[in-house]
Amino acid sequence: MDFKESFRGIRSAYMELFHDVDLEEPSFSTAMYFIIFNPTFWNIAARLEYHTHFLTKITGSAKKGCYLLAATIFTLGVGRDLCFHKALDAQPLSPVLDNPKVKFVGQALVIAGQVLVGTSMWQLGITGTYLGDYFGILMDHIVTSFPFNVCNNPMYQGSTLSFLGYSLVTGKAAGLILAFMVYAMYSFALRFEEPFTAKIYAERDDARSRKNE
């Protein structure tokens, strides 16, 4: 098989996958909304907290404020996941994805994703996972052990793998689009989160050095 024939085969598979997606299904739009809204919300809320301390004032302490934001983010995440599953239930099965090998790959991705998410939360704790640095709750040292020694953002990357894996397990092409949107939104969020977090810790380290002079 030459290159042109291979390209035609790949293009045909992609076109078939796209035709297996019902973009007009309302649950698909709802899932897309949550995928876009969630990281947008927590970045705006965390920035407002950093500049105004509104959650700290409402709850009476930075730790309680962080726990309130964590509960809100977690609840929104559950809502997003439920909408994602509902959206896939309403989508047609893709013949391209409906085979045992694809399902096996999907299962492996789900397991890998959940391991990354679970171990990340274990290493960081609630405040480390849910933007505690915006509340002034900073970690003493950078975590470098697993899963941070295999990827920079295991929470986001693990979540993306879980969405992708579940889409393959269920054989729903629409899930691939939603999983890509999850990846895109996390990548977009990191463009704001990583520099700002680095700034927070740099200010902490600068304050410590001045204090020790």
**Sequence ranges of the binding site:** 111-113, 193-194
**Residues in binding site for S-adenosyl-L-methionine:** 111-113, 193-194
82-85: long-range contacts, CB 8 A cutoff, minimum separation 24: 83/27, 83/30, 83/31, 83/33, 83/34, 84/31, 84/34, 84/35, 84/163, 84/166, 84/175, 84/178, 85/166
CB atoms within 10 A of CB 70: 17
Q: Is the dihedral of CA 47, 75, 120, 189 positive or negative?
A: negative
On whether the CB atoms of residues 151 and 113 are closer than 8 A, the answer is: no
For residue 92, give both structure tokens.
């047609």
For residue 61, give both structure tokens.
């302490």
Helix H or strand E segment including 156: helix 154-170
